[in-house]
């Protein structure tokens, strides 16, 4: 592998880590912040991806398209659409038991999968949609995809910064209070369903953004890429491994788990005989499942536990305010 190949590989790898990082941040808004259980991540991811794909591609026979809109518009509409669908599901299930939300999200992801596969007029079915423009394509030559990485990185930084601000705002404190002891919050006169709905919609919209980034990164989307189980599950493992409730933990989890996932894929592709490749993939999936269970059993707080992080930060803030108070 020469230097150029290595660089291309690193760019490719980091772009995916970034996209998964955005997904993990989205899930962290829902699970980490408010304790909402979404296992339909793949569905919101797919909505973002397909929306942007359909809106930005050139005309093609057989399915809707030819809008040729700019990527920014595609991303934005994808965000809005996944947010809207989340709003509908949330309105139905958020005042019910937490398991119902989980089941409803599975259902919606499953239906989205069926639509992607079967509604050829809309999604071109299993053949997928190709020719999705890369960011700033045609402006300059970019054989390594580094522009793409920059776009992903920018999105990640914006989402991260916004979430960190939100988390420390009064809004974020209410969210965490909802997760910990809802009754106290309700007694304080806050409408918890409303707050939960906000966090569910926000998180799903972020997943939609990740979908759009993904579509423009690969330039091609097909139903296979949005297998409800694999995507959803990997994101969950990332968040739990990294430490839920903590945005830095979510990002760390995305990096670590994607390294393990892609690394083992690289190893098996390099060393396993071709006839064992599909088997090797199932072994990897098995091991990720096992990893999750081991984390739950031995280190449920993840690599970067929230509480420690919060107290350290709050301590710092308190000290700062002590100083400004002149103590």
| Site residues (vs another protein, CB under 8 A) | 35, 37, 39, 92-93, 96, 98-100, 102-104, 106-108, 110-111, 114, 117-118, 229, 233, 236-237, 240, 278-279, 282-283, 285-286, 288-290, 292-293, 296-297, 300
Q: Output 173 or 279, the one with its CB closest to another protein.
A: 279
Q: Provide the greatest CA pair distance for the chain.
A: 73
Shortest distance (Å) from residue 210 CB to another protein: 20
The answer for residues whose C-beta is within 8 angstroms of residue 207's C-beta and 6 or more apart is 22, 23, 26, 27, 41, 44, 45, 48, 82
DSSP 8-state secondary structure symbol assigned to residue 95: T
Tokens (6 digits) for 186: 């309700």
Tell me the CB-side half-sphere exposure of residue 166, using CA atoms within 13 A.
Answer: 22
Shortest distance (Å) from residue 78 CB to another protein: 22
Q: Which 3-state string (H, E, C) describes 145-165? A: CHHHHHHHHHHHHHHHHHHHH
Shortest distance (Å) from residue 108 CB to another protein: 8
Q: How far, in Å, are 6, 106, 120, 202, 226 from residue 232 at the CA level?
A: 29, 10, 24, 17, 9
Q: Output 19 or 36, the one with its CB closest to another protein.
A: 36
Q: Output 117 or 190, the one with its CB closest to another protein.
A: 117
Q: Output 200 or 236, the one with its CB closest to another protein.
A: 236
Q: Output 30 or 247, the one with its CB closest to another protein.
A: 30
Shortest distance (Å) from residue 92 CB to another protein: 6
Q: Output 4 or 276, the one with its CB closest to another protein.
A: 276
Shortest distance (Å) from residue 303 CB to another protein: 16
Q: How far, in Å, are 44, 47, 191 from residue 111 at the CA level?
A: 11, 11, 31
Shortest distance (Å) from residue 111 CB to another protein: 5
């Amino acid at each position: 592998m020469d230097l150029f190949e290595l660089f291309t590989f690193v760019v490719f790898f980091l772009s995916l880590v970034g996209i998964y990082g955005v997904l993990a941040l989205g899930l962290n808004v829902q699970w980490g912040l408010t304790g909402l259980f979404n296992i339909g991540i793949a569905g919101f991811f797919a909505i973002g991806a397909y929306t942007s794909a359909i809106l930005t591609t050139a005309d093609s026979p057989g399915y809707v398209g030819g809008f040729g809109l700019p990527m920014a518009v595609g991303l934005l509409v994808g965000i809005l659409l996944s947010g809207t669908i989340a709003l509908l599901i949330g309105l139905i299930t958020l005042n019910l038991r937490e398991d119902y939300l989980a089941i409803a999200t599975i259902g919606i992801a499953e239906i989205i999968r069926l639509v992607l596969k079967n509604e050829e007029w809309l999604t071109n079915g299993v053949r997928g949609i190709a020719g999705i423009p890369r960011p700033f394509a045609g402006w300059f030559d970019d054989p390594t995809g580094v522009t793409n990485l920059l776009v992903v990185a920018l999105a990640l930084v914006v989402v991260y910064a916004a979430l960190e601000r939100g988390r420390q705002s009064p809004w974020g404190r209410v969210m965490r209070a909802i997760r910990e002891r809802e009754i106290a919050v309700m007694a304080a006169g806050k409408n918890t369903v409303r707050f939960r709905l906000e966090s569910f919609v926000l998180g799903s919209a972020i997943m939609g953004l990740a979908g759009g980034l993904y579509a423009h990164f690969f330039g091609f989307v097909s139903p296979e890429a949005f297998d409800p189980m694999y995507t959803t599950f990997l994101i969950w493992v990332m968040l739990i491994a990294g430490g839920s409730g903590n945005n830095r933990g979510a990002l760390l989890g995305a990096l670590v788990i994607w390294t393990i996932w892609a690394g083992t894929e690289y190893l098996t592709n390099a060393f396993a005989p071709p006839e064992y490749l599909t088997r090797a993939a199932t072994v990897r999936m098995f091991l990720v499942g096992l990893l999750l269970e081991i984390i739950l059993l031995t280190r449920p707080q993840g690599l970067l536990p929230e509480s420690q992080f919060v107290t350290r930060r709050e301590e710092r803030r308190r000290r700062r305010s002590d100083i400004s108070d002149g103590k």
